[in-house]
Amino acid sequence: MRLDDRVAVITGAAKGIGAGIAERFVEAGAAVVILDVDGDGAAAMAVKLSQRGPAMAIHGDVSNEKDVRQAIARIVDQFGRLDVLVNNAGIEVAGSIPDYTEEQWDRQLGVNLKGAFLCAKYAIQRMRGRGGSIVNISSVHAFASYAGNAAYDASKAGMLALTRTLALEHGREGIRVNAICPGYIDTPMMDDWLLTVPDKDSAMRQVLAVHPLGRIGTPRDVADAALFLASNAASFISGATLVVDGAMTVAGH
């Protein structure tokens, strides 16, 4: 699974799953662009990656059309092409529907779903004529809903629908579109969640108990799946959803 001579942009790659994907793609020979609202974090990650291959950081908000349009144009100006888009940027703001504000809902859907739409819109314009691959990082929340996560669940379910439609619309152009649904992954987002529970150790024991593989995932686990879908190894795979959750959902959790 190689990405030699390809240019990939990964949103939300300053940390967590996105950072893991960026590192894996550089290892596989790609030139990597990190698009993140955390400009300092993106720059630091790009410096780290540049020790192994071409890397660039762009500060931008994926929910802002101007930011996305300018970012994609800058990537093509710098590298002359765009081959892979990984829509990874995402936020989670928990809360019950009656207590949720309109601003919270709009921000959640804006980053997680509108951001994927905008990035795909402008990336596809650059992929036409040469083909490409889009990998959308959804979540097991797309089909296993949890109380207090309505906006997050809706955004991640929407990503799967968007994935299927994009695959249908752009397959004839040689553009493949697939989704990954991670489960519990050891990331800063999970660390933030653990800060909200009364007993962190007890919570972790409960989490581990619902994983038939006996552990939670790592960013590398998701990164390997993303590399597979982005590479020629998955040349006949499009419109698919790959679950990376240690068999948690098939165990009924």
**Does the annotation mark 152 as catalytic?**
yes
Q: Is the pLDDT of residue 10 over 80?
A: yes
Domain boundaries, the chain: 7-184+219-244
| Average pLDDT rounded to a whole number, residues 202-222 | 92
Class of domain 7-184+219-244: alpha beta
- The answer to whether the CB of 28 falls within 8 A of the CB of 1 is yes
What is the C-alpha separation between 209 and 4, in angstroms, rounded?
40
Give 1's DSSP letter. -
Q: Helices 16-27 and 39-49 meet at what angle, rounded to 10?
A: 30
pLDDT digits (tens, 9 = 90+) for 78-107: 999 999 999 999 999 888 999 999 999 999
Contacts of 65 (CB under 8 A, 6+ apart): 118
Confidence at residue 145, expressed as pLDDT on a 0 to 100 scale: 84
What is the C-alpha separation between 9 and 13, in angstroms, rounded?
9
Contacts of 106 (CB under 8 A, 6+ apart): none
Q: How many residues in the chain? A: 253
- The one-letter amino acid at 184: Y
What's the predicted TM-score (pTM) here?
Answer: 0.95
100, 122, 146, 152: the active-site residue: 152
